[in-house]
Amino acid sequence: FKSALNNASDKAATRLRTAYDSAVQKGTDRYIELLFALANGPHLAKQFKQICTDYEEIMKERPERPRYNTIKNNGQDIRNALESLSKRRFLR
């Protein structure tokens, strides 16, 4: 049983790692912090406002990194990035 669970988790981790690598290597790595903000916390479903808040907290620790504007046009930069990730099936 433990062997089967370990095998299943290894396969899932590989798939998740491949999707993450693909998402952040498609022309820009600006998705990294956004993906961190999405994954921050125990719940898979998050309100957009909370994603923006988590993103801003992450970016405080990474001032040298390019960032999305969370205020301009009601966070349209982040909405566009999320839509792009979703269309490319990275947010399944």
Residue 24 pLDDT > 80: no
Distance CA 84, CA 50 (A): 19
Distance CA 47, CA 50 (A): 5
Structural domain boundaries of the chain? Answer: 2-87
First to last CA, the chain: 27
Contact (Cβ atoms closer than 8 angstroms) between residue 26 and residue 84: no
Model pTM? 0.67
Which one has a higher pLDDT value, 51 or 18? 51
Contact (Cβ atoms closer than 8 angstroms) between residue 55 and residue 68: yes
Which tens digit of pLDDT belongs to each residue from 31-65?
888 888 888 887 767 899 999 999 999 999 999 98
